[in-house]
Structure 1
Amino acid sequence: MGMKRPVIHGFQKKSIFWKTFFMISIMSIATILIFGIFINQLMVSSQRSRIHDLSLMQLRQTSKDVEMRLDVLEESMEQTLWSNDFVTLMVNPVGRNSNVNYRVASALAGYASGNSLIHKAWFYVPALDEIYSSSGSYMSIDSSSERRSTMYYLENYEVNRAGSDECSRVVYCFGDRVIQAVDFCVPNFIGVLFFELDTDQLNLIVQENLDDGSAAIQVYDAQGNGILPAGSDKKLDLRVLSSYMTDSEDKKDAEYYLYTSDILGWHFVRNVDAESNSASWNSIMSLMLPFLLIYFIVSQVFSMYITSSVYRPISRLMQIADRSYRSGTVPAVSGDVHNEVDYLELIYTDTLDQNIQHHRLMEAVSNDLMEQLFRSLLTGKTLTMDYINRTMEGTGNRSLIAGRYIAMAGVMVTPEDREPTVVETGLYQRSVIGLISQIKDDSCELYPFYIEKDILVIICCFHGETSALQVKQTVKNFEDTLLAKTKTMPYQVIIGRGKVYNEITSLRHSYQEALADVRYRRYMESEENRNSSAGEFDRKYYEERAHQMAELAEKGSREEAMEMAGALVDEVMNCSKEKRLDYCEKILDALLEKIITGGGANTELKSMGLSHSSEELQQALAAGQLKTYMVNFCDKAIRAVQSGSKKNRYKYVNDAKEYIETHYSDGNLSLNHVSDAIGISAPYLSGLFNEVIKENFNSYLNSYRVKQAKQFLEETSQNIAEIGYKCGFNSAQSFSRVFKKYTGYTPGQYREWKKGQQS
C-alpha cells in the first residue's frame, strides 16, 4: 500500500548537502586557524632570530668600535715610546736633564688634555723607579699616587714583558678604573706607558650604535667585573651562562645577549627585549590578517564546490526517484526518514523487493526459456549468437556463454511382461526428471527435458575454465548416480553420451552422438551385453587418463603427473576386484605405448623395471600390494617418458643446428624453414632452443654466421661485403651491425686486428 509522493525539498533543514557543507567549512576554518598559528609561529621565530642576530651583530660592532679606538691609542702610545725624549729617558737615565723631564711630562699632559678618551696618562721608568705623570710631576714610584695601579700591572702582567722588539698592549681594570698599558722592550723591559680611559667617554662609544629605546650595553672584563659606570657595581657570573645567548648558542629562554671580544677579553652584554617580540607578533598578525580573510573566502567557495560535487550523485538519484514515482506511489514514509539518504534507502529497499519478485518470476520461466533454446539447437534451427547470448543473459546464465557443453540422451526401459499405461509412463518420466534435479554439482548446470515421446535429453553446461577431463569425470559420476537411483524403480534408464564441445551451437552434434550411443546400448539390452559395453567404456576411460598422465610427464610436469597417477590408482582400487586387474592392465599398456613410441627399447624397459605381466598383477593383488605396485610402475614410467622427451628435445635441437650449418648462407633462412625441415612446429622449436641451449633461435643463427664470417676474414682476402653476403646477411649494414654486436669490432677492424696479431 502506498501513499502520496513526499516532497524532496522537505529535507532542506536536515539535508546531507548542508551537513556536508558545514562540516567542510568547519574543517576549512580549523585549517585556517592551524595554518595561521603555524605561519605566525614560523614568522615570529624567524623575526625573533633576526632580532637576535641584529642584537648580536650590534654587540660585535660595538666590540670592534672599542677595539679600534684602543688600537688608535696603542699606536699613539707606541709612537710616544719611540720618541727621542722617552727613549733617552729609558735607555740613558743617567744622562737625563730637566728639559727631557719637562718634555716627557708635557707630552703626557698633552695626551690627557687632547684626547677625551684619555682621563690620565703616566710613564714608569724601571731604571729610575720613577713615575712621570700627566699632571706635570715626576717622582719615585713609592711617592706617586699611581703606585698601586702600576705595581698591580707589574705583578700581574709580567708575561707581557718578555724579550721582544715590539711593544705589547694590556687593557686591565683596577677598581673602577680602566687602564691601557704598553710595554717597551728592546729586547729587555725598560719602560711602560699607562693611559687611564675615561669610562664615561667609553660608555658613549659603546652605546652610540643603539637605537632609541634599546636596552643599554654593559661591558665586563675577563674576570666579570663591570667596566662602564652604569654596571661597575655588578658582577658577571661566567660560570652560569644558561641565560645568555651567544653566536654559538641560541637559547630560546635567554635573558641576555653575550658577545666576548677575542682581542680584549671583554664581555659585552645586553638585555633581551621581550616587548620587541610581542610587537613583532602583532605586526605579523596585522600583516597576515588580509591573507587569512582571502583564504577564508576562497575556502568557503571551494567548500561549496566540493559539497556540490559530492552531493551531485545524491541529487541525481533523487531526481531519478522523483521521476520514477511521478505517476505512481512510493512506499510509506516512516518517521525514520530524515534526509535524502534515508529516503533513497527506502526507495532502494522497495526496488530491491520488486527485483526479488522479478528474479523469482524469471527463475520460474528461465528453465522453460533455456529448454526452448536447447530444443531449437538440437532440432537444427539456425540461431544467431546474439540471440543465444541475450537469452542466457536474460535467464541469469551469463557465465555459461563461454563454456563447455555435452549432451546426454536416455531412454526408459520397462519390464517386458508388462506394458505401462500412458499415465504410468508420464509419472515415470516425471520421476526421472525429479531424480536429475536432485543431483547437484557446482561446476555444472543440468537441463533435462524430453525432446521426443520417449527420448530424454540432459544438457550439461560447464564453465569455460573447467577442463575436458573434469567434464568427462563429472558426467560419468552423474551417470553412475542416476543409474544407482533408478535401481529401485520399476523401470531402468539407459544413458548415452556425446563428445564435449566448446561452442554451444555444436550441441546438436553432441546430441546426435549421444543418441547413437544410447540406441546401441538399447540394442545390447541384455544384462551381459550391457555390462560388457559398460566395461569397455570404463577401460577406454582409464586408457585415456593414462595417456593424459603421460602427456603431463612429457611436458615436464612430473609432480602433476604423479598426482594424477595417485588419483587414478585410488579410483581403480575402489572398483570391484574382478575389474581392478583389467583396468590396471589398460593403464600400464597405455604408459608402455607412450614410452615405446618415444623411442624406448626393450632392453631399456627391462633395465628400468618397466615390463609387466598378468601374473605379476595377480600376485600383487593377492598380496594386497596392487596399489603399491601400480604407484611404483607409474613413477618409473613417468621418469622414462620424461627421459625420452629430453632425448627428443636434444635430438631436435641437434637436427636444427645441423640444418643451420648447412643453410646458414641462405639470407631467407628462418625459424619456420628450420622447423619445417625437421618436422616440428616453429613455437616448439623456439622453446627448445631457449630451454636446451639457453639462447633464442635468432641469436644462435646470428652468432653462427658471425663465427663463419670471422673465419673468412682471417683466412681469405675476400671483400667484406661479399663475405657478409656469403654468410647470409641481407645487407652490408646489417652484417657490420651484427658483427660488432658479437665481437666489439666492425668486420674491417677485426681483419686489421687479426693481421696485427699475426705480424
Structure 2
Amino acid sequence: MKRIRFKFRFSGMFGQTLLVLMTVTIVIGTFFAYFLGNLYEEQYLEKQSDVCFANMKERSLEADKAAASLTAKMESLLQAQDCSRLMVSGKNLLQQQAMNVVQELSNLVDRDEDVTEAYLYLPYSDKVLSSDKSVVNSESFSRQELLDVEGAAAGNGNFTGAMKTGGFGNGLFCLDGEGWMIMDYPDAKTLARVILRLNLPEIYRKMGLAAEQTTGSGMIYVYDGRGIPVFSGMLAYPGAERLMVSEQEQAGDRKEIYRSGEGYILVYQSDRTGWYFIQHMDGIHLDVEAPSLVRALVTYGLFALVLLTIASFYLIWRIYRPFRALLESLISQKNQGGGIGNGGVSATEQELLRGIVKEDREQNERLKDILQSVGASLSEHLFKQLMTGKSWDENAVRQTLEQIQSPFPLDGSYRVLALTYRSREHGGESAVDGELYGLQVIRCSEEYWGKAALVQSVDMEEQKLGIVLCMKTAMTETTWYRELERFEKSLRRRLAERGFEVAAGGSDLAGTFFDLNVLWLQALADLEQRMESARPENPGVQMLGRLLKGDSGKKEQEGNREVHIRVERAKELIKDGYGDSSLSLESISEKLGLTAPYLSRIFAEHQPPGFLDYLNRYRLERAKDFLRKTDETVGDIGLRVGFNSPQSFIRVFKRYEGETPGQFRARIKEGGDA
C-alpha cells in the first residue's frame, strides 16, 4: 500500500497554537486579577466598616444614655402632684405649686450637667415656668416656635426628632445651632410641655467625638432626624459635595454604606435619639512600584512563555499531527471512492485511535479504584477525628461525606460501642495475633449489627475499637442494653477459641453526627464500669481468704449490696422528684455519679423491666391517689405528677391501667373496686 504524504508547515502550526494559548492565558489572567481585586476590596470594606460602625455605635450609646436619663427626669417632673395641679388650674395659677415646680426646674438644671435651661409650658394657664425661677406669659417667651403644640398630639412618643405639623413633637432636635429636647404630657391632649435646652458641648465631650478620641479613617459627624448638624459649634461639618453619594453598597440594621467618589460614606442611626452618625471612609488603593511590577512581569512572563511553548509542542505532536494526517487520509480516500470500512484508514492511524480510547478507559478505571480505596480510608479517618474530639469544620465534614458518597446522614439515631480485647495470658500472644483478633472482632460486629443499623468501625488506640451505629429502627433503652449484652455474649462465643478476652460498652442515643465524641466517652465509661464489676479477684487471694477468714462469697455479697443501695437511692430520687417533668435516667445518674447506661443496666436487673417502667408506674400510683381524693382536673393531675402534657398522661394511663383517668375516677365514685 502506498503511503500517503502531505505537506506540513510546522512553524505555522506552532505559531498559531502558541498565539491561541497566550491569548487564552492573558484573558484568564485578566479576569482572575479583576476577581481578586474585587474580592480584596469587599473584604477590606467589610472589616474596616465593622470597626467604624462599632466606633459610631459606642458614641451613639453615650447619647442614648443622656437621652434616657433626661427622659426619666422629665417624666418624674410631669407626674409630680404639684405639676398635675398646675396643668388644670387654668388662668388662676396656683402660686405655691408654681413656685415648687419652678424650684424643681432649677434643681434639674443644677444637678444635670447636660441641661442649661429648663421650661414648663402650661397651655391652659398660658404661662411658662422657667428654671431661672420666673413665671411669664407665653407671648413673652423668646422662643415661640417651641410652644406650638398644635401638631404635638400626633407624636408617638419616640425620639424620631422629625418635624410635626404646626410645631415640634416629642424628641431631640437642633434649632439655630442649639440642642433642644421636648416632652408633651399626656400624648392624646397636651396639658403640659417640658422644654430642655441641652448643653451640647458637654454631650459632645461625653460622646468622645473630639479628634484625638476617634478611630477610623475620618471624623464622625452627627445630624438630627431632620439632617441638621448637632454639634455645629464644636465641629466643622463638611460641605454637601463631600457627602455626595453615587450608589448604596450595603444596608443592614440601622447601618448603611454608600459609595462616594473613591471612598465610602458610612451612616449609622441611633435607635433612641434618632440621630445620624456619618463617617467618611477612604477606599482601598493598591500602589505598586514600577520596578517591582516590571520585575514580576519579566519573571512570570518568561515562566509562562516556557510553559506555553511546551504545551504547544505537546498539542502539535499528540493531537494536531495525528488528526491532520487522519483528515488528509479520509479526504484522499473519499476522492478515490474508498471508505474507512474498506481500508481507507491506515493501520497506524487506526492503532493510534484505539490507543487513545484504551488509554482513556484505563485511566477512568484506575481513578474509580483509587476513589473507592481512598473513600474507605477517609471515612474511617473522619469518624476517628470526630470521636476523639479533634477540631473539625462542619462544612468540611459535609463535603467529605458527599465526596466519598457516605450513607451516614448528618441527622440520625446514633449510638457508639466501645470494644476492648486483651490476651488471657500476659505476653502469650504476639502483636500480629492481636491485630488479627481485632479484625475478627470488627467483622463479627458488622455482621451482628448490619441489619439493624449502618455500621462504621474505627480502630482506636491501645487495643480499643469503636463501632458507630446509625440505627435504622427505634429501640428503647432497656431493649438497647439487653441487645448489647447479647452482642457481647455472641462475640465471646464466636471467638472463644482465640486466646483473647473481649468486653463491650454502649452509649446513649444522639440525634446528630457531630455528637460522636460525647457518645464515645459515654461508651468508654460504660465499658470501664462493666469491666470493673466483672473483674474477678485473684484466685489465690480468694482461696487464702476462704481458708483464713472463712468469708466465701463476701466480696460478691458486698458488690451486690452496693448495687442494691444504688438502685434504692435512685428510687428515693424518683419518689422525691416524680413531679418534675425533666426527671430522667440521665439526671438521676448524674446525681448518683454514675453513667446513664450503667444505671439503666443495674436498674433493669434489680427492678425489671427497667427504669422508665418504674417511673411511669410510680407516677400513675400517685395520680390515682389524687383522682380518688381531690377534684382537680385530669390535666392538672397529669402535670402535677410529672407528665409533659395531659395527652401524654392519658395515653400512658390507658396503656398501663386499661382505662382513661376520667373512666377510673367515674368508676371509683360509683363505688367500684379501685
Same-fold call, TM cutoff 0.5: no
TM-score where L is the length of structure 2? 0.35
